[in-house]
C-alpha cells in the first residue's frame, strides 16, 4: 500500500513544528521581559505567577487533551489549542495590570498543553515508529531552538519594541500553523458516540493544580511548615485518590487504567518523570549562571547556550537515523542518561573562574545526553499501545515529563534559595564585608544588572555565592538522571511497527491528496476507513 512521501510528511511536520515552536517559545521568551513587566505593571509579589500560571495549566490539562483527541480527532483538538493560544497571547499583550496578565497566561497554558501533547500524537499518526527516526532531529530542533531563541528574541523585543511583543510575536507563527494544518493535515477518523469523563477531568486538574501550587509557592508565598502546605497536600492526595476511583469506573476514562498495565508505558512514564526533574529542573538555571555569575547580557546568555542546542541536535538526529536503520532504540536513552549525568556533574563544577569555552563543553555534553532521551521515550510509548490509545498514551508520557519538570523547577528553585542564604553571607564574611556595608535590598533578589553594579569586593562575594549555590543545584539533578537510567534498564524493547498505528498508508495518502479539496477530505467522515478492531458501528459502513 502506498505511503506518504518524504516531502508530504515534511509538509505536515512544518505545521506541527510551528505549533510546538510557539508553545515552547512562550515558556522561554518571557523570562527576559519579567523585570520590565514589573516596572510597568507593578505587582512584584505576583511575578512568580506569570510563569507558574502557564506551567500549572499546561501540565494539568495535558492528559485531557490527549483523551479528547482520541474521542473527537486530533486535527480539531490541535487547531482548538492553537486558537486558545492565539486569543490568550493577544490578551496577555494588552494586559493593563498583573492580574490580567496572570489570567491570560493561565489560559495560554491550556493551549500550550494541547500543542505540546497533540503534536507528538499526530506525528505518531503520520509517521510509523520505524520511520520516525528520520524526522526525530526536526522535532528535537524545535525545543533546542526555543531554548536559545527565546531569551535572544525576548531581550531584543524588550530593548527595541515593548515587552508586550514577547506575547504577540507568536501570533503570526500560530496563524501560519493553523493554515498549514488546515490545508495538509487530513487524518481519517471514524465518528462514534462518546461519553466524556468530566468528573475524572475535574479530579485530575484539581489534584495536579493543588500539587503544583504547593511546590511552586512553598517557601515563597508561605512557609513549607505551614497550614497552606499541609492543606494543599491534603487536597492533592484526596483529588488524586478520587481520580483513581473515578477512572476505574468511567466508561471512557481520561487516563484509562489499562495503560498502567502496559509495561512500556509505565517504565517510560517513570523514566520521563525522572528525566523531567533532572533536565528541566537544572537547565532552567543556566541563564542565571551566565547572567549573574559571568555578567553576560540576556542576549549574549542565549547565544552562549548554543552548545547545548548543538549537542541536542547532533545526538537527536544521529540516534534517530540509527533507530530507523537498525530498529533498535533502548540503548539510546540508557546511554543518553549516563551522558547527561556526566554533563550535570561537570556543570556542578561551574564557578566564577570557569572559562566560557569550558562551560560550553559541559553544556554540549549535557545536551548530547538529552538528545538521546526525550523523543525516544515518546517513540517507545507510541510503539507499545494500540492506535485507539495513541493520543492518551502520548499525552500521558508528556504529562509525566512535564510534571517532573514542574517539580524540578520548584524543588531546585527552593534549594537554590536556601543555599543562597548560606553561601552569600559566608562569602561576604570571608571578604570582610559587614552587613551595614551592603546596599539596600537583598543581593539574592536583585536583577543581574543590579548585581553587576555592586561595588567590589561585594560583587565578587555575591557572584561567588551564586556560583556555589548553583553548583549544589546542578549536582542535585544528577541522582534523578541516574534514577532514570536504572528505570530504563527494565524497559523491554519491542520491535518497531512499520505501520502508522492501525491506519493504512493508502488511507493517509488519499487523504493528503484530497487536502486541496475541503469537501473531499476524510476527517470526521462517517464513511472513512475504520481502524482495526473498532467498536461496533452505529450503522453499517458504506462500502466504496
pLDDT in tens, 63-112: 778 777 777 777 888 888 888 988 988 888 888 887 788 888 888 888 88
Q: Is there a single domain that holds both residue 149 and residue 210?
A: no
Q: Burial, 101: exposed, middle or buried (Cβ in 10 Å; 0-12, 13-18, 19+)?
A: buried
Residue 2 lies in a domain: yes
Indicate whether 373 and 227 sit together in one domain. no
Query: Do 244 and 260 have their domain in common?
Result: no
**DSSP symbol at 131:** T
Phi, psi of 218 (to 5 degrees): -60, 135
Q: Is 334 helix (H, G, I), strand (E, B) or coil?
A: helix
* Owner of C-alpha cell 531552538: 145
211 lies in the same domain as 291: no
- Based on the domain organization, do 345 and 464 belong to the same domain? yes
C-alpha count within 13 angstroms, C-beta hemisphere, residue 173: 19
Whether 98 is covered by a domain: the verdict is: yes
Integer Cα distance of 155 and 157 in angstroms: 6
CA 342 to chain centre: 23
Together in a domain, 63 and 90: yes
Count of residues making up the chain: 544
Are both 49 and 116 inside the same structural domain?
yes
- DSSP code for 252: S
pLDDT confidence tier of residue 456, bands split at 50, 70 and 90: confident
Dihedral sign computed on CA atoms, order 107, 108, 109, 110: positive
> Which residues lie below 8 Å from residue 203, measured CB to CB, with a gap of 6+?
239, 240, 242, 243, 246
- CB-based contact 270:377 (threshold 8 Å): no
Q: What is the DSSP letter of 7?
A: H
Q: What pLDDT, on the 0 to 100 scale, is given for residue 136? A: 64
Read off the CATH number of the domain in which 326 is found: 1.20.1250.20
DSSP state of 344: H
How many CB atoms are located within 10 Å of the residue 230 CB?
12
- Report which of residues 144 and 150 the model is more confident about: 150
Give me the half-sphere count of Cα atoms (radius 13 Å) on the Cβ side of residue 319. 29
In a domain, 529, yes or no: no
Whole-number Cα distances in Å, 483 to 146, 355, 406, 416: 27, 30, 18, 21
Considering the domain architecture, whether residues 84 and 231 belong to the same structural domain is answered as: no
In a domain, residue 32? The reply is yes
> Would residue 318 count as lying in a domain?
yes
User: CA torsion 397→195→187→525, rounded to 10°?
Assistant: 180
Residue 138 lies in a domain: yes
Mean pLDDT (whole number) for 116-130:
76
Find the helix packing angle between 374-384 and 263-283, rounded to 10°.
160
Q: Are 157 and 165 in contact (CB under 8 A)?
A: yes
pLDDT level of residue 282 (50, 70, 90 thresholds): low
H or E segment at 26?
helix 6-28
- pLDDT bin (cut points 50, 70, 90) of residue 4 is low
Residue 533 lies in a domain: no
Measure the N-to-C terminal CA separation of the chain; round to a whole number of Å: 17
**pLDDT > 90: percent of the chain:** 7
Closest CA to 386 of 142, 166, 124: 124
Write out pLDDT tens, residues 480-518. Answer: 999 999 999 998 888 776 655 444 444 444 434 434 343
Torsion of CA 62, 65, 71, 77, to 10 degrees: -150
The Cα–Cα gap between 273 and 400 comes to: 5
Q: Are residues 316 and 294 in the same domain?
A: yes
Same domain, residue pair 345 and 377: yes
Count up the domains in the chain and report the number.
3
Between residues 423 and 522, the one the model is more confident about: 423
One domain for residues 180 and 203: no
pTM recorded for the entire structure: 0.74
Last residue of a domain, one of 186, 208, 230: 186
For the chain, what is the mean pLDDT? 76
Domain containing residue 261: 256-494
Distances (CA, A) of 256 to 70, 208, 250, 334, 352: 12, 17, 9, 28, 50
Q: Are 283 and 348 in contact (CB under 8 A)?
A: no
Q: Is residue 538 part of a domain?
A: no
Same structural domain for residues 143 and 81?
Answer: yes
Q: Could you check whether the bond before residue 457 is cis, i.e. omega within 30 degrees of 0?
A: yes
Evaluate whether 163 touches 40 at the Cβ level (below 8 Å).
Answer: yes
Amino acid at each position: 500500500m502506498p505511503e506518504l512521501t518524504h516531502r508530504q510528511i515534511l509538509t505536515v511536520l512544518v505545521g506541527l513544528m510551528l505549533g510546538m515552536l510557539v508553545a515552547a517559545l512562550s515558556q522561554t521568551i518571557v523570562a527576559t521581559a519579567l523585570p520590565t513587566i514589573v516596572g510597568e505593571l507593578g505587582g512584584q509579589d505576583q511575578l512568580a505567577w506569570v510563569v507558574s500560571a502557564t506551567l500549572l495549566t499546561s501540565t494539568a490539562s495535558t492528559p485531557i487533551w490527549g483523551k479528547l483527541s482520541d474521542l473527537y480527532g486530533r486535527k480539531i483538538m490541535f487547531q482548538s489549542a492553537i486558537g486558545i493560544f492565539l486569543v490568550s497571547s493577544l490578551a496577555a499583550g494588552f494586559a493593563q495590570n498583573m492580574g490580567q496578565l496572570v489570567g491570560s497566561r493561565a489560559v495560554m497554558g491550556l493551549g500550550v498543553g494541547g500543542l505540546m501533547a497533540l503534536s507528538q500524537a499526530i506525528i505518531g499518526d503520520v509517521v510509523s515508529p520505524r520511520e520516525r527516526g528520520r524526522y526525530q532531529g526536526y522535532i528535537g530542533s524545535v525545543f533546542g531552538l526555543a531554548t536559545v531563541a527565546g531569551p535572544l528574541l525576548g531581550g531584543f523585543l524588550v530593548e527595541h519594541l515593548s515587552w508586550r511583543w514577547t506575547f504577540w510575536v507568536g501570533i503570526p507563527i500560530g496563524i501560519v500553523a493553523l493554515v498549514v494544518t488546515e490545508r495538509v493535515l487530513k487524518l481519517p477518523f471514524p465518528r462514534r458516540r462518546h461519553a466524556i469523563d468530566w468528573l475524572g477531568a475535574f479530579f485530575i486538574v484539581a489534584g495536579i493544580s493543588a500539587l503544583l501550587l504547593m511546590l511552586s509557592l512553598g517557601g515563597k508565598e508561605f512557609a513549607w511548615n505551614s497550614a497552606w502546605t499541609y492543606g494543599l497536600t491534603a487536597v492533592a492526595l484526596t483529588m488524586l485518590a478520587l481520580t483513581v476511583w473515578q477512572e476505574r469506573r468511567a466508561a471512557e476514562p481520561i487516563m484509562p487504567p489499562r495503560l498502567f498495565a502496559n509495561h512500556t508505558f509505565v517504565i517510560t512514564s517513570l523514566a520521563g518523570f525522572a528525566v523531567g526533574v533532572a533536565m528541566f529542573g537544572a537547565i532552567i538555571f543556566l541563564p542565571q549562571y551566565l547572567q549573574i555569575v559571568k555578567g553576560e547580557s540576556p542576549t549574549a546568555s542565549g547565544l552562549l547556550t548554543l552548545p547545548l542546542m548543538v549537542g541536542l541536535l547532533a545526538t537527536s538526529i544521529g540516534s534517530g537515523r540509527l533507530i530507523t536503520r537498525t530498529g533498535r532504540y533502548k540503548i539510546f536513552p540508557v546511554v543518553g542518561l549516563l551522558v547527561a549525568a556526566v554533563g550535570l556533574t561537570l556543570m556542578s563544577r561551574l564557578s566564577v573562574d570557569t572559562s566560557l569555552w569550558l562551560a560550553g563543553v559541559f553544556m554540549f555534553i549535557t545536551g548530547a545526553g538529552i538528545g538521546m532521551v526525550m523523543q525516544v521515550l515518546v517513540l517507545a510509548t507510541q510503539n507499545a499501545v494500540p492506535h485507539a490509545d495513541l493520543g492518551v498514551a502520548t499525552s500521558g508520557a508528556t504529562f509525566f515529563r512535564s510534571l517532573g519538570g514542574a517539580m524540578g523547577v520548584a524543588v531546585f528553585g527552593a534549594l537554590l534559595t536556601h543555599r543562597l542564604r548560606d553561601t552569600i553571607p559566608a562569602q561576604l564574611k570571608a571578604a570582610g564585608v559587614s552587613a551595614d556595608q551592603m546596599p539596600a535590598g537583598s543581593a539574592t533578589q536583585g536583577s543581574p544588572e543590579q548585581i553587576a553594579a555592586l561595588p567590589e569586593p561585594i560583587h565578587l562575594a555575591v557572584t561567588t555565592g551564586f556560583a556555589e549555590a548553583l553548583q549544589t543545584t546542578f549536582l542535585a539533578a544528577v541522582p534523578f538522571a541516574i534514577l532514570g537510567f536504572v528505570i530504563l534498564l527494565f524497559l523491554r524493547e519491542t520491535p518497531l511497527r512499520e505501520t502508522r498505528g492501525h491506519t493504512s498508508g493508502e488511507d493517509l495518502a488519499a487523504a493528503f491528496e484530497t487536502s486541496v479539496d475541503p469537501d473531499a477530505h476524510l476527517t470526521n467522515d462517517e464513511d472513512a476507513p475504520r481502524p482495526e478492531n473498532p467498536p461496533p458501528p452505529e450503522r453499517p459502513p458504506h462500502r466504496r
